[in-house]
Structure 1
Amino acid sequence: MDSNILLVVIQGIGWVVIGYMVLVILFYFFMLLVALFQIRRKYQLDNTEPYEDLLNVSYSKPLSILVPAYNESVGIIPSIRSLLSIEYPQYEVIVINDGSKDDTLDKLMEEFQLKKIKKIVKQKLTTKNVKGIYQSTIYDNLFVIDKENGGKSDALNVGINVSSYPYFCSIDGDSILERDAFLKVMKPIIDSDGEVIATGGSVRIANGSVIENGSISKVGLSRNPLVIMQVIEYLRAFLMGRVGLSRHNLLLIVSGAFGVFSKKWVIDAGGYLHTVGEDMELVVRLHRLVKEKKAKNKIVYVADPVCWTEAPEEMTYLKRQRNRWHRGLFESLWMHRSMAFNPKYGSIGMVSMPYFILIEFLGPVIELGGFLYILLSFFLGGIYIEMALLLFLLFIIYGSMYSMLAVLMEEWSLRRYPKAKQITVLFFYSLTETLWYRPLTVIWRCQGIIDVLRKKRGWGDMQRRGVSQ
């Protein structure tokens, strides 16, 4: 009798996982349709849209570019050079050296001939002590702040205090921007006359590309299978996920690698908090502030402007990254849990928060249960094998098929990868996702949940090879 009850329970778990996967697939199918129409209309049919007006100082809005840097010696110089060569009429670049233990500051001092200056700074956000502010004698719009170590959030808050302009962009110290990226990512802010208070651009993997003079001269594809799978993962996350959510102002994530914010709104919200996922937490807090003020401001995603960044090439570092991302997701959701399923916060409370809780955060647990069920079915046989096959088919659709569609969307619309061979490789690897890469990321994200329960904090060390290599 006990064994029969156990078998019924196992079968029930199988049906729960199957039902969950069907609902998730349908939800993603809806987002896919939204993304297809949005990308095709805005970024392919309108690809001749002029940006010349944005080069006019009187029309555009000046921008402060904040680059928090901690032990970024390997990639900081080409990243800053790429920022100094962007097409935008009025901007400043502020590098915040967050107590680096390597020679990040020394390299900046030598490369850009920095000179210490006196600058009056309004302490709008409380931060760690600033040791000194430097200005380049070669580029008037390049500043470097040397400060005590306080983490990425603290470094960004220092940058906000020092910045001179009404909008700021936060990018990672190992990132390379396309020259017209800011013209495109600022356009929704300018066109909306302030209604849009934050925008995010696409982030792509730079590993395998050729970088000269701080810009991508030739888009390439790494031969490392882990990196190739991350390329596919980024395509899926940005082209399908964020385009679909942004269309209805449901976006809760603006990547810390490339996002533009209204300084006034961020200061009113209290700046960046010291969390593992400071970028998502700030966006959720901005949505909360907008709803509580009963305003109509928006946070949008722009697919076309691209920021290229370095991806982990070894499993150890990729595991740490995904673990950290999942802990950061939980932290943001937990801090603002009162918004979830709360009609006071409109579609953010009733759609976006539940989506991130039930699909993004708890999804790995359900998926892991599904993978374990498939393995268990080989020992149980009978109907369990049939259910396992159905479940595996759903995993193929959710993992491999949607990733394949993301690759096709890239080729159909933005076409950042010019060679047919590159698209073929991406397409082939996307077919294998369910077989090895997806289970790995599911396990790492579940470990992130365990670390949340253990109250583990911190980023963990990440390896930098330099995007120019």
Structure 2
Amino acid sequence: MERFFDFANTVDLLVTFYAVLACFFYLMLVVFASRELQMYKKKSETGNQNTILSSPFAPFVTVIAPAYNESLSIVENVKGLLALKYHKLEIVVVNDGSKDDTLEKVIREFDLEKVFYPFDYDVGCKQIRGVYKSRNMALDKLIVLDKENGGKADALNAGINIARGDLFMAMDVDSLIDREAVIKLVHPFLKETEKKVIATGAVVRVANSCRVTGGNVSKVHVPRNIWARFQALEYIRAFLIGRMSWKHLDGLLLISGAIGMFDTHVVKACGGYLISTAGEDMELLVRMRRYMSERKEPYSVDFVPDPLCWTEVPETLTTLGRQRNRWMRGSMDTLRIHRKMFLNPRYKTVGLLGYPYWLIFEWFAPLLEFTGFIYFISLALSGGINWNYVVLLLTFVYVFAVTMSSWAIFLEAFTVHKYDKPSHIASLLFTAMLEPLIYHPMTVWWGVRGNIDYVRGNTNWGAQERKGFAAKKK
């Protein structure tokens, strides 16, 4: 029995060390993110990014929007893309073998005809069955591809093969994109003169319960659905603290698949999106970083803290669980594929800090927390719990989690100004108090399930049910 209690004390020390280490890292990320946001705000107040529209050095940009069974909203979505503000632009909509009448609706609405359009299969993708352009010269920048179904990564690769742009913006066709998104994403590529910018990401916000008019969010509202509200808080914390801090450290490993801009030539040199993984967005960026580092070419990955994309998030636990399961499997696959980077000084911040952080606090965290829960139950049954220690530790972790979320909410309110009404802030703060008790344990379980499914070889995306924005338009 004495040995058991010695073991329990050792575990208590390890748990305490892990909790303190995690809190220290999160605190540092908050400091770096706050500093980066302050710098960005000052630059935004003194600069005018619209000068890019008249700049002779502005690069040609291709917007690639994969579409699969989007019949209900495809016409409005394409109209929204055609309204994007930028002069050197082409819009490539990729019909990924839709089983509904997505292609037929686009052909009819925009007066498309099949044309001869020479291209090479520079990166792998399923067969492209046809290229369509409008008879209306005013819509000359619109290109529609029809291809065999291969999934989102395969559809993006098809778009890359067609793209004429020096840069391309990858997105979800059912997301709502700010009309100045291209201008703001191009800006980092032009302002950096000492390094080659290979990719730029942006903040993604939750569109659930928002008013949507003409393909744009006309009135922001905190989601009414509790699960969507948890995700809205999670997105604020992840993008304003997580992405901004890692951008500051030059260790960013992920640009959201909902919106991101990439150097076309570097992506082609890397082989395009990896079709066999569930996390193609993260894997591509890590591979691009690895490619540049191994060639000893100075480069950077930028991030714009403006909410340039609004997306609909799951409102049911079943759909949300599938999504988080896939995200975990995608992260694990990326870390496995690029394990050579772990603690490798050749890859600088990414190898020495970014990769280890993602490994310990993203991949291992759900496993460690779940194991800790099982250990707690076993101690409770054996009567070996030090309740003073448990209460102190849980109180510390809870208060710290709520504090971090609260700080992210106030950063959002005073820098980005989307959730800036008192009612918005109050709702999000209340959600922050509930999250560690309700939502976080569920994300832990979904993470554990993702680990199990990955070991089993499950590569399925899982059905992602969406209500769409049509019902929200007024």
TM-score range, shorter chain: over 0.9
**CA positional deviation for 1:377:** 5.8
Q: For residue 177 of structure 1, report the CA deviation from its aligned partner.
A: 1.0
Q: CA deviation at 1:144?
A: 1.0
- Provide Cα deviations, 1:399-456, integer angstroms capped at 9, x if missing partner: 3221121111101211112422112101110111111100000110111011111111
Aligned in 2, Cα 1:134/1:22: closer, same or farther, shift over 3 Å? same
Instruction: For residue 368 of structure 1, report the CA deviation from its aligned partner.
Output: 2.2
Asked if 1:248 is matched to 2:246, the reply is no
Alignment-derived partner of residue 467 in structure 1: 469
Partner of 2:52: 54
Query: Percent same amino acid among aligned pairs?
Result: 38
What residue number does 2:389 align with?
Answer: 387
Question: Shift of the alpha carbon at 1:15?
Answer: 2.6
Q: Secondary structure at the match of 2:436?
A: helix
SS at 2:69 equivalent: coil
Distance 2:436 2:382 in 1: 23
> Is 1:325 the equivalent of 2:331?
no
In the alignment, the residues of structure 2 paired with residue 380 and residue 410 of structure 1 have an alpha-carbon distance, to the nearest angstrom, of 46
Identify the residue that residue 270 of structure 1 maps to in structure 2: 271
1:26-425 aligned within 5 A: 26-43=24-41, 46-138=44-136, 139-193=139-193, 195-274=196-275, 275-373=277-375, 379=381, 384-425=386-427
Contact 2:71 2:101 in 1 (8 A): yes
Structure 2 match to 1:9: 7
User: Hey, what's the Cα distance between the residues in 1 that align with 2:399 and 2:200?
Assistant: 31
Query: What CA deviation, in whole Å up to 9, does each residue of 1:330-387 have, x standing for no partner?
Result: 0000000011111222221111111111111101112223444555565566752122
- CA offset digits 1:118-171 (Å, max 9, x no partner): 101122112211111111344211111110011211111110110111100100
- Matches of 1:386 and 1:375 in 2, distance apart? 16
What TM-score results when the alignment is normalised by the length of structure 2?
0.94
Q: Point out the more displaced range, 307-316 or 56-65.
A: 56-65
The Cα shift of 1:41 comes to 2.2
* Rounded Cα–Cα distance in structure 1 between residues aligned with 2:77 and 2:359: 35
Q: Which moved more, 1:156-165 or 1:176-185?
A: 176-185
Q: 1:20 matched to which residue of 2?
A: 18
Contact 1:374–1:391 (8 Å) recurs in 2:
no
- State the alpha-carbon separation in 2 of the partners of residues 384 and 162 from structure 1: 64
Instruction: List structure 1 segments (4+ residues) > 6 angstroms apart after TM superposition.
Output: none
Q: Secondary structure of 1:89's match?
A: coil
Separation in 1, partners of 2:400, 2:153 = 34
1:316 corresponds to which letter in structure 2? T
Q: CA 1:392 to 1:76, structure 2 compared with 1: closer, same or farther past 3 Å?
A: farther
User: For residues 294 and 95 of structure 1, what CA distance do their matches in structure 2 show?
Assistant: 35
Length-normalised TM-score, structure 1: 0.95
Q: Distance in 2 between matches of 1:119 and 1:86?
A: 24
Whole-Å separation in 2 of the counterparts to 1:100 and 1:390:
55
Paired with 1:235 and 1:372, the residues of 2 have a C-alpha distance of 31
Please identify, of 259-268 and 217-226, the stretch whose mean Cα deviation from structure 2 is larger: 217-226
Secondary structure of residue in 2 paired with 1:170: strand
The answer on whether the counterparts of 2:124 and 2:271 sit within 8 Å (CA) in structure 1 is no
Q: CA deviation at 1:44?
A: 5.5
Task: Say which SS state the counterpart of residue 302 (structure 1) adopts.
Answer: strand
Q: CA 1:164–1:387 in structure 2 vs 1: closer, same or farther (change >3 Å)? A: same
3-state SS of 1:199 partner: strand
Give the stretch that moved more between structures: 338-347 or 351-360.
338-347
Output the amino acid matched with 1:320: R
Cα separation, 2, equivalents of 1:382 and 1:273: 49
Partner SS for 2:44: coil
Give distance in 2, aligned partners of 1:78 and 1:56.
Answer: 28
Identify unmatched segments of 5+ residues in structure 2: none
Q: Is the 8 A contact 1:14 1:370 kept in 2?
A: no
Deviation at 1:82, TM superposition (A): 2.0
Quick one: structure 1 residues 74 and 363, their matched pair in 2 at CA, closer, same or farther if it must change by over 3 Å? farther
Give the stretch that moved more between structures: 218-227 or 330-339.
218-227
Instruction: Kindly provide the CA deviation profile for residues 169-192 of structure 1, in whole angstroms up to 9, marking residues without a partner as x.
Output: 100121111111221111110112
Say if 2:50 and 2:183, in contact at 8 Å, map to a contact too: no
Say if 2:94 and 2:155, in contact at 8 Å, map to a contact too: yes
Look up the equivalent residue of 2:206 and give its one-letter code.
I
Which digits, 9 at most, give the CA deviation of each residue in 1:101-128, with x for residues without a partner? 2232233223323221110112211221
Distance 1:394 1:105, change over 3 A: farther
- How far apart, in 2, do the equivalents of 1:435 and 1:429 lie? 10
Matched letter for residue 413 of structure 1:
T
| Greater CA drift, 280-289 or 135-144 | 135-144
RMSD: 1.8
